[in-house]
Amino acid sequence: MSISSSLNASVAGLSANASKLAAISDNIANSATFGYKRVVTDFHSMVIGSGPGAYAAGGVRTTNMRLIDQGASLVSSENATDLAVRGRGLLPVTTEASVTLDNGDYPLLMTTTGSFRPDEQGYLRSDSGLVLMGWPAASDGSIPTFPRDTADGLQPIRLNANQFVGEPTTEVEIVANLPATGTVAGADGMTEEISVEYFDNLGKSESLSISFAPTVPATGASNEWIMTIRDSASGDAIIGEYQLQFDDTRGQGGSLASVAALSGGAYDPVSGAFSVTVAGGPLSISIGALGGGTGMTQLSDSFAPVSITKNGTAVGNMTSVDIDANGFVRASFDVGVSRVIYQIPLINVSNINGLESHDYQSYRASSDSGSFFLWDAGDGPTGDIVNFARQESATDVAGELTDLIQTQRAYSSNAKVIQTVDEMLQETTNIKR
């Protein structure tokens, strides 16, 4: 009977509008929740076959969808490890429980933003218990090749505040001037000396003692010096000896004319460097290219070490951590070294709104979302990562309140239909009186 179908349709309408009211209330309740994605409720009519001259109401049903792809504004913060995704992509996170269990099995969850801070064990964890994940870097700061279609290579990011780092010295550049008067007949033959500090493989300070002995001729000028290099880590043994010949022609006067290796590695006239072996391994020393105006020169009457530059550092303590737009986590140390320790990829899925929603604005891949792929932030279809930032809630309170009024009216109208059907059924019952 069509009157009964009207009653059933209105009951379905009450249920549908109650479902929409629940979504609206959730959206409004989370209007200040960082990273919250609003839920929308869609209504679908139910059609029941009707005979000639009669119509049966089918009612309505609802489906709910969380709009994870809906963006929101970014707000700045004062924490370097507050992160937000600008554009497409999600941050990889896992549960605190799996990290505590420490069995190597970390379920992959995703989120668009989070306030991550080191916990008592150094893991970057949010207050809600989500632990940020990334690819660990090698000891030299490079990121090994990890699979992109699985989370197997991802590890919880752990910062050790007591971590030490030291970089061995592998390159030294010497810029100095030798006195041209030292290689003329009658010169006193004084040897010039400099000491160069370097750091070994364990971060200890060692030194190279470098002496320049002039060749004093009987007549004229030789423009020749013997460069001798000794290593303190090798018991002051000679690790290199080179014959330096300087040009005295017009235009090229004072520049290196030739370098002959008496011992040690061969001199490269293009790069102006040669390699010697210290106790910890090979060390490149640059003294300047032939005919160049930089590096070693022989001019005037005074010895002048202009500059000595080198790489490598002593052992230093970690002082701060920064995360750049491409997801590289860099640790800074008090000796001036900055080293990459992790890379945070961004996860892209075929249907982002098909992800399975979990607590604390986290999501998990599902059959509806399709397969996922790990991209470098800023590469491919993904956006980049912004630190010192959080993503606001995607809820528009004004729009939700408007929907609330419409839902209230619709609910009242369905209730009115039920009241009307009840009165009509009462009238039908009264026919027998």
Give backbone dihedrals phi and psi of 119, rounded to 5 degrees, phi first.
Answer: -90, -170
Question: Checking DSSP bridges between strand 372-375 and strand 338-343, what pairing results, if any?
Answer: unpaired
Q: Are 311 and 161 in contact (CB under 8 A)?
A: no
Whether this prediction's pTM lies above 0.85 is answered by: no
Q: How far is the C-alpha of 183 from the C-alpha of 180, rounded, in Å?
A: 6
- Token pair listed for 38: 């609003």
- Token pair listed for 363: 């999501």
Note the pLDDT of residue 294: 86
- Residue ranges, comma separated, of all CATH 2.60.98.20 domains in the chain are 169-311
Give backbone dihedrals phi and psi of 19, rounded to 5 degrees, phi first.
Answer: -65, -40
Note the pLDDT of residue 51: 65
What is the distance in angstroms between the CA of the first residue and the CA of the last residue of the chain? 22
Q: Quick: pLDDT tens for 168-211.
A: 999 999 999 999 999 999 999 999 999 999 999 888 899 999 99
Sequence-ordered list of residues with C-beta below 8 angstroms from that of 384, at least 6 positions apart, any chain: 85, 86, 87, 325, 326, 377, 378
Note the pLDDT of residue 351: 95
Q: Are 159 and 136 in contact (CB under 8 A)?
A: no
- Token pair listed for 6: 């009207």
Nearest to 20 by CA among 37, 6, 39, 36: 39
Note the pLDDT of residue 50: 65
| pLDDT, one tens digit for every residue, the chain (433 residues) | 578 888 889 999 999 999 999 999 999 999 999 999 999 999 998 887 666 767 788 889 999 999 999 989 999 999 999 999 999 999 999 999 999 988 888 999 999 999 999 999 999 999 999 999 999 999 888 999 999 999 999 999 999 866 677 789 999 999 999 999 999 999 999 999 999 999 998 888 999 999 999 999 999 999 999 999 999 999 999 999 999 999 999 989 999 999 999 999 999 999 999 999 999 899 999 999 999 878 999 999 999 999 999 998 888 888 899 999 999 999 998 887 888 999 999 999 999 999 999 999 999 999 999 999 999 999 999 999 999 999 999 999 999 999 999 999 999 999 999 999 888 888 888 887 6
Query: Residue 178, Cβ neighbours under 10 Å: how many?
Result: 24
Give backbone dihedrals phi and psi of 37, rounded to 5 degrees, phi first.
Answer: -110, 125
Q: Quick: pLDDT tens for 225-284.
A: 999 999 999 999 999 999 999 999 998 999 999 999 999 999 999 999 999 999 989 999
Q: Considering only the top CATH level, what class is 169-311?
A: mainly beta
CA 266 remoteness from chain centre: 41
Q: Are 303 and 178 in contact (CB under 8 A)?
A: yes
Q: Are 201 and 280 in contact (CB under 8 A)?
A: yes
- Half-sphere exposure (Cβ direction) of 139: Cα atoms closer than 13 Å: 6
Query: Residue 63, Cβ neighbours under 10 Å: how many?
Result: 10
Looking at residue 223, its amino acid is N
- Token pair listed for 269: 């006239």
Q: How far is the C-alpha of 127 from the C-alpha of 158, rounded, in Å?
A: 16
Query: Residue 56, Cβ neighbours under 10 Å: how many?
Result: 17
Q: Are 39 and 26 in contact (CB under 8 A)?
A: yes
- Token pair listed for 116: 């991550």
Write down the residue that tokens 């990290």 correspond to: 99
Q: How far is the C-alpha of 269 from the C-alpha of 382, rounded, in Å?
A: 47
Write down the residue that tokens 């600008």 correspond to: 86
Note the pLDDT of residue 334: 84
